[in-house]
Amino acid sequence: MEILEKSNYNLSLSFQKEITQLQAYQRKIDVHIEMLKNLTRRVQIMQMGRVAYTELEFELIKTEITQMEAIVQELRASLNGSNEKVEALYAEVHNISVTVNQLENYDKNNVLAVRREIASLQRRLEECKHNQTQQSPFQVEYGKFGSCEHGGIMNISKPLVVQLNWRGSGYKAGGWGKDSFFGSTEKGYWASMLENNALNYFSSVRLYNSYDDLLLYKNYQDKTASDSGNGAGMILYNNSLYYNCYNSRDICKHNMVTNKLERKTLPNAAYNNRFPYSFSQYQDIDMASDENGLWVLFSTEEAQGNMVIGKLNSSTLELIKTWTTTVYKPSMSNAFMACGTMYATRVTNTRQEEIFYMYDTNTEKEARISISMDKMTDNIQSLSYNPNDHKLYVMSEAYETEYAVFFKSLSKEKL
Ligand SMILES: [Ca+2]
């Protein structure tokens, strides 16, 4: 009896052990079925060619398949081929392994070869970029903004579309940016849109407290001047909006703090759409600022429509000095000042502008140049430089867009 009991006990122990082991196998199988499902999904995506995959991903999948094959073999051996789930698993792993091998063979001649080519091109591009950086454009350290110890503009970055103006895509023309008085620590942004009609006038400017507020269209103040303005040549300079007063050759100065408006006639300036830019109606008088102060870009009958650069006294609005260029203002799409040099753009095509001309008021020399600027829309309606961050602020058919300006180093210029 005792022997029987003991034998029974041992049998029960052994049975228990078998059960536990079977349960463990079951868990293992369930886990591996899940792994297989995941693997199948990935291989299917590869087959459909929906995502980019690399040699490394192939290798990883192949390694996983090999591991699974080994585990499934092991399971099969332990269960003597008596478990349906394991058999199904074994068949699927085998299928997936065949598929991946086929994919790889197909791929060796096609996709991966193209990918290697692309990788090599990318490497070469990176090398080019690296070399270009080593040729050192004017390296601007923080706090070095304001220095004009450079050889003029070298190139312009790709455009960054910051946002659609708050009034929407129906309002295409206007100006925007940051206070462009050199040394301004103002963190806010401004934007002013022309009314959506043929008159091209505006009467207010929206001020945002910060970049985030601009992006979220919140925390703003609208400032309305007693006199409205013409064209999108306005800029915010030392807390005042400077612009061409409506239907006149006057320059208006609207103080954002006191709301006071001052105006002064710009002698002989053409106005009322006489010499606007090529695609910016009524922008006869375009305000600009740079490291050297406040400027006005305009034309006169005497200059026969050619661009005239005027240096302005920002307090009294008096014209200090003018320089007459040899380029017809309506042939330009816009213009801006940087370090006392005027740069003018023209349309190359619907996706590119070219800075094609410069006039240096320091040396009174002009030059034809060619610096291309990509754009997102057919035309641009305003373009201003800010000396505090070396950026160009552009209104590109309702979209507020910015570009970084890179200057040539002086040493490179001398070489
Ligand atoms: Ca401009």
Give distance in angstroms: CA of 33 to centre of ligand 1.
65
Ligand 1 centroid – CA 338 distance (Å): 11
pLDDT at 86: 74
Between 35 and 333, the higher pLDDT residue: 333
Q: Which of 13-22, 142-151, 175-184, 266-275 has the lowest mean pLDDT?
A: 13-22
Measured in Å, residue 107 CA sits from the centre of ligand 1 at 53
**381 within 8 A of 280, measured Cβ to Cβ:** yes
Q: Contact, 157 vs 382, CB < 8 A?
A: no
The alpha carbon of 343 and the centre of ligand 1 are apart by a number of angstroms equal to 9
Which segments of 49-134 does DSSP mark as H helices, in order?
55-79, 84-109, 111-134
Rounded to the nearest whole angstrom, what is the distance from the C-alpha of residue 224 to the centroid of ligand 1?
22
- Residue 284, token pair as written in the block: 């006869």
Q: Give the percent of the chain with pLDDT over 70.
A: 85
Q: What is the Å distance from ligand 1's center to 310 Cα?
A: 13
Please write the tens of the pLDDT for every residue from 350-408. Answer: 999 999 999 999 999 999 999 999 999 999 999 999 999 999 999 999 999 999 999 99
| CATH classification number, 153-414, choose in 2.60.40, 2.115.10, 1.10.760, 2.40.50 | 2.115.10
From ligand 1's centre to the CA of 144, what distance in Å? Answer: 24
Q: What's the pLDDT score for residue 375?
A: 94
- For the segment 181-239, what is each residue's pLDDT rounded down to a tens digit? 999 999 999 999 999 877 799 999 999 999 999 999 999 999 999 999 999 999 999 99
Confidence of residue 88 (pLDDT cuts 50, 70, 90): confident
Give me ligand 1 centre to Cα 110, in Å: 50
- Cα 100 to ligand 1 centre (Å): 59
Q: Please give the residue that has the higher pLDDT: either 106 or 338.
A: 338
Segment 53-68 shows an average pLDDT of 71
Q: Are 385 and 337 in contact (CB under 8 A)?
A: yes
**CA 331 – ligand 1 centroid, Å:** 14
Those residues with Cβ within 8 angstroms of residue 47's Cβ, 6 or more apart along the chain or in another chain: 99, 103
- Supply the pLDDT for residue 68: 74
**Is the pLDDT score of 51 beyond 70?**
no
Query: How many CB atoms within 10 Å of residue 142?
Result: 5
Examine the pLDDT at 129 and tell me if it is beyond 60: no
Amino acid at 377: T
Residue 412 has pLDDT above 60, yes or no: no
Residues 86, 27: contact at Cβ < 8 Å? Answer: no
How many Å lie between the centroid of ligand 1 and the Cα of residue 65? 63
**pLDDT score of 135:** 45
329, 290, 222, 200 alpha-carbon torsion, rounded to 10°: 0
The torsion angle over the Cα atoms of residues 356, 361, 364 and 370, rounded to 10 degrees, is: -10
Range in 91-105, 116-130, 143-157, 181-195 with the lowest mean pLDDT: 116-130
Distance 291 CA to ligand 1 centre (A): 15
Which backbone phi and psi does 344 adopt, to 5 degrees? -115, 145
**Cα 77 vs. chain centroid, distance in angstroms?**
60
Q: Does the pLDDT value for residue 114 go beyond 80?
A: no
**What residue ranges do the domains of the chain occupy?**
2-113, 153-414
pLDDT-derived band of residue 120, with 50, 70 and 90 as boundaries?
Answer: low
The pocket of ion ligand 1, defined by CB under 5 A, consists of 286, 334, 336, 383
